[in-house]
Amino acid sequence: MKRLFIDSSVLFSAIYSSRGHARDLLLMATRGEVGLILSELVIEEVRRNLTDIAPESVEVFHFFLNLIPFEIANPSREEVQEAAGYTVLKDAPILAAARKSQADMLVTLDRKHLLDKPELENYFGMPIVTPKTAVVLRNT
């Protein structure tokens, strides 16, 4: 079973919309087809954004948090500082958590800072992919 670290953009999208590949990943996790990994920062960021942007979705968020046995990976300050040498500061905690988790893939919707960056994939030791790609690659 593939273990996927999902960032805030993917978790927010999966909660906000009942359709799409981000939601598919959550549904796959409920069936035990993939393992999903988060950090506390991802959880807090999504909770805050849903409360501000889509308060009606907060209940769905808590439903999935309770239903799926998410793994939690929280990086140390040193790990975040090291990651900051490879990406913009706001993404360093996410990349550090993904690296610490030893996930098979980091799943994101962040095209500007994370996707299509082979140097990040090489350093962090995992492919950085969209939810669509993660769904397709889950069995490979």
| Burial category of 113 from C-beta neighbours within 10 Å (exposed 0-12, middle 13-18, buried 19 and up) | middle
Computed on alpha carbons and rounded to an integer, the radius of gyration of the chain in Å comes to 14
Total of domains in the chain? 1
Domain that holds residue 85: 2-137
Span 1-45, pLDDT tens digits: 999 999 999 999 999 999 999 999 999 999 999 999 999 999 999
Q: The domain that contains 89 carries what CATH number?
A: 3.40.50.1010
pLDDT category of residue 128 using cuts at 50, 70 and 90: very high
Predicted model pTM = 0.94
pLDDT of residue 123: 84
Span 71-125, pLDDT tens digits: 999 999 999 999 999 988 999 999 999 999 999 999 999 999 889 989 889 888 8
